[in-house]
C-alpha cells in the first residue's frame, strides 16, 4: 500500500508481545514528518522523513475553547455508553498538542485522522478537529434519538 505523505514519529515507551508473535506498542509522539518513499530494496521499504515545524502562535482563544468544548461534550457522550472510557485533555497543553491528542484518541474515521495529520496549518487543524468532533457528537446524538 502507498505510504502516507505525512506521519507521526515518536519514541516507543512500552510494548507487549502478543501470542501470535506480533506486538502492541505505545509510542510517545515527538513530531510530524513529511515522508518521501525511497526506491524499494528488498526485504524492506524505506523512506526519508523530514520534520515539519509548526508555528504554535496565532490560534484564536475562541478556536481552542471550541475544540475543548466539543471534545469534552463528545467524551461525555461516549462515557454515557461506556463508563470505563477515560480521556482527559492535559492542563496547560498547547493548542497543537490538544488538537493532535483529540484527533488521535477521539476522531473515529482513520481517513479523517490522516487528513487532520496532513493539515499543515495549525489553525486549520484545530478547526478541523473541532468540526470532526462536532459532527461525530451530532451523529451519536441522532443515533441515540432514533433508538428511543
**Nearest in space to 34 (alpha carbons), one of 6, 8, 57, 66:** 6
Bridge-based pairing of strands 47-52 and 6-17 is: unpaired
Name the average pLDDT for the chain: 91
Tell whether the model's pLDDT for residue 23 goes beyond 80: yes
List pLDDT tens digits, range 79-133.
Answer: 999 999 999 998 899 898 899 999 999 999 999 999 999 998 999 999 999 999 9
pLDDT of residue 145: 59
pLDDT of residue 48: 95
Amino acid at each position: 500500500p502507498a505510504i502516507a505523505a505525512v506521519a507521526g514519529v515518536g519514541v516507543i515507551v512500552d510494548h507487549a508481545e502478543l501470542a501470535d508473535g506480533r506486538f502492541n506498542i505505545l509510542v510517545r509522539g515527538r513530531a510530524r514528518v513529511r515522508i518521501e518513499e525511497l526506491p524499494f530494496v528488498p526485504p524492506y521499504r524505506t523512506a526519508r522523513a523530514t520534520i515539519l515545524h509548526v508555528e504554535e502562535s496565532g490560534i484564536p482563544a475562541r478556536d481552542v475553547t471550541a475544540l475543548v468544548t466539543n471534545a469534552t461534550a463528545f467524551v461525555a457522550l461516549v462515557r454515557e455508553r461506556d463508563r470505563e472510557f477515560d480521556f482527559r485533555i492535559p492542563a496547560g497543553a498547547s493548542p497543537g498538542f490538544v488538537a493532535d491528542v483529540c484527533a488521535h484518541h477521539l476522531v473515529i474515521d482513520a481517513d479523517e485522522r490522516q487528513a487532520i495529520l496532513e493539515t499543515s496549518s495549525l489553525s486549520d487543524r484545530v478547526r478541523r478537529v473541532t468540526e470532526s468532533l462536532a459532527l461525530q457528537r451530532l451523529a451519536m446524538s441522532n443515533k441515540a434519538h432514533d433508538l428511543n
